[in-house]
Amino acid sequence: MSRIVMKFGGTSVGSTERIRNVAKRIMGETAKGHEIVVVVSAMGKTTDELVRLAEDLSAEPSKREMDMLLSTGEQVTIALLTMALIHMGQEAVSFTGWQARIETESVHRNARIEFIDTSRMEQALKEGKVVVVAGFQGVDAAGEITTLGRGGSDTTAVAIGASLHADQCDIYTDVDGVYTSDPRFVEGARKLQELSYDEMLELANLGAGVLHPRAVEFAKNFGMPLSVRSSLTEEPGTVLLEEPTMEKNLVVRGVAFEPEIVRLTIGYKVPFNGSLAKIFTTLAKHHVNVDIIVQSIMDGTQPSVSFSIKKVDFAETIQVLESNKDELGYQSSNFEVGLSKVSIVGSGMVSNPGVAAQMFDRLRKEGIPVKMVSTSEIKVSVVIPESDMMKATNALHDEFNLASIRV
C-alpha cells in the first residue's frame, strides 16, 4: 500500500461533472489499497472572477482582505468533492488550509509554508478516509488566513506529500505533461517524458505555467517523486527526477516565455555612492521580486543599475524606490515597458559551450533586439520587445530541434 497525494487544478474541477470524474479517479486509487490525500484548486475561473469583483470596488484592495476573499474559492471545491466521494460510498473529510494546519509566514498574497502539523490528516487517513485539502492557502502564527500566490495549490500538494512522507505526488491538470514549450503557441512543441528538478524549476520560474516554482523546490529538497499528467485521460505524463534517463541527447529541453516585463534603470550621481545591497534589500523587504540585474560603472558616464520586474509589481516598486530615494542615494530613474522574457533551458548546456552564441545568432537573424541577458549553468534568458516574444520563442524552438522529440 502506498500513500499518494493527488492534486487537481481548476480546470479539472471546473464543473460538477468534472468533480464526479475526479471522485471516480480517486476511488480507482483507493480500490488499489492506497491512502489518498487530495489537494484541489478553486473551480474553473473562480479566482479570476473574485479578483474582478474586488477590483470593481477598489483599485488597490487590501491584501489581507484579498486573502479572505480568494480562500473561499478552494473551500467550495473541497466541500463539493468530498460530497461526491461520500455519495459514491467513499469515506472522506475536507479541510481548509488552516484546518489542515498549514502554517505560513505572515505575508499576504504570496506567503511561504513554514510548517505543516499533519496530526489531523494522519488521524483521518488512519480512519480510512480520503483527505481533501484546500490548496493555495494557510494560516500564520497570529491566526490570519494567508495565500501562497497564484499556482500555490501545487506547492500545497508537494509540501503535504513531503510532510506525510508520501510515496508520490501526482499533479493533474488540463495538459498531459510538460512540453518543450507551450503547445498552444508553438508549432511542434513536444511532451517530455522526463525532466530534472533543476530544469523544471528554471522553466517554472521563467514563465512556464505548468508547475508552481516553490512546488518544484519542495520536491527537489525532499526527493519527492513528482509527475504532471492529465486529469482527462489515462496517458502517462512527465516525471520529474534528479537525473533523467531519456532524451539525453537534447542540449536544450525547453523554451519558456513571459510577457509584461518592465526594465527599470536607476542613475547615480558622480562620484558613485550607490549601493546595490541597499536597493535590493529595500525591495526584498517589500517582497518585490527582481530578476535580471545589470550594473554599469564607467569613467565619464553616469553610473547606473538596471533590473527587470514583472509589470504587476511596477507600481509598488516605484513607490518603494521614491519613498526611500534619499536613503538609497540615487539621482534619477526611468523605465521601459512593452518587454518580455524568452529563455532556453537544458542541463546539457553545462557541457556544451556555444549554446548562448547560437541563441544570440538566431535572434540576430530574426531581427530581434536583445535588451538584457541573464545566464546560469542550465539557462539563458533574454529580455526583448513583447511584440517579438512569440517570434523568438518559435525560432529558438526550431533552432534547437525540439520538434524532433519522439512522442
Q: Can you give the residue ranges of every domain in the chain?
A: 3-174, 255-404
Q: What is the pLDDT of residue 271?
A: 65
218 in Cβ contact with 155 (< 8 Å): yes
- Structure-block grid coordinates of residue 244: 533523467
Q: What is the pLDDT of residue 407?
A: 52
Predicted confidence band of residue 348 (pLDDT cuts 50, 70, 90): confident
Residue 32 burial (CB count, 10 A) = 11
Percent share of the chain, pLDDT over 70: 97
Q: What is the pLDDT of residue 205?
A: 87
Percent share of the chain, pLDDT over 90: 77
Q: What is the mean pLDDT of residues 231-235?
A: 86
Which of 64-78, 186-200, 263-277 bottoms out in mean pLDDT, i.e. has the lowest? Answer: 263-277
Question: Sign of the CA dihedral 258, 349, 264, 54?
Answer: positive
Rounded to the nearest 10 degrees, the angle between the axes of helix 276-285 and helix 314-323 is 120
**Is 247 or 341 the better-scoring residue by pLDDT?**
341
Cα-only R_g, the chain? 23
Predicted confidence band of residue 268 (pLDDT cuts 50, 70, 90): confident
- What is the rounded CA–CA span in Å between residue 48 and residue 382? 29
* Predicted TM-score of the model (pTM): 0.83
Q: What is the pLDDT of residue 5?
A: 98
Residue 308 above 90 pLDDT? yes
Predicted confidence band of residue 296 (pLDDT cuts 50, 70, 90): confident
The winner for highest mean pLDDT among 242-246, 325-329, 366-370 is 366-370
Rounded to the nearest 10 degrees, the angle between the axes of helix 213-222 and helix 197-205 is 160
Mean of pLDDT over the chain: 93
Residue 316 above 60 pLDDT? yes
pLDDT tens digits for 106-151? 999 999 999 999 999 999 999 999 999 999 999 999 999 999 987 8
CATH of region 255-404 = 3.30.2130.10
- The single-letter code of the amino acid at 183 is P
CATH of region 3-174 = 3.40.1160.10
Q: What is the pLDDT of residue 384?
A: 98
pLDDT tens digits for 164-218? 999 999 999 888 899 999 999 998 999 999 999 999 999 988 888 788 888 999 8
Residue 60 above 70 pLDDT? yes
Rounded to the nearest 10 degrees, the angle between the axes of helix 16-30 and helix 63-87 is 60
Residue 248 above 70 pLDDT? no
Q: What is the pLDDT of residue 44?
A: 93
54 in Cβ contact with 47 (< 8 Å): no
- What is the rounded CA–CA span in Å between residue 273 and residue 258? 34
Predicted confidence band of residue 273 (pLDDT cuts 50, 70, 90): low
**Nearest alpha carbon to residue 261 among 342, 199, 327:** 342
Q: What is the 3-state secondary structure (H, E, C) of 115-152?
A: EECCHHHHHHHHCCCEEEEECCEEECCCCCEEECCCCH
Predicted confidence band of residue 1 (pLDDT cuts 50, 70, 90): confident
- Largest Cα–Cα separation, the chain: 77
- What is the rounded CA–CA span in Å between residue 307 and residue 289? 10
Residue 255 above 80 pLDDT? yes
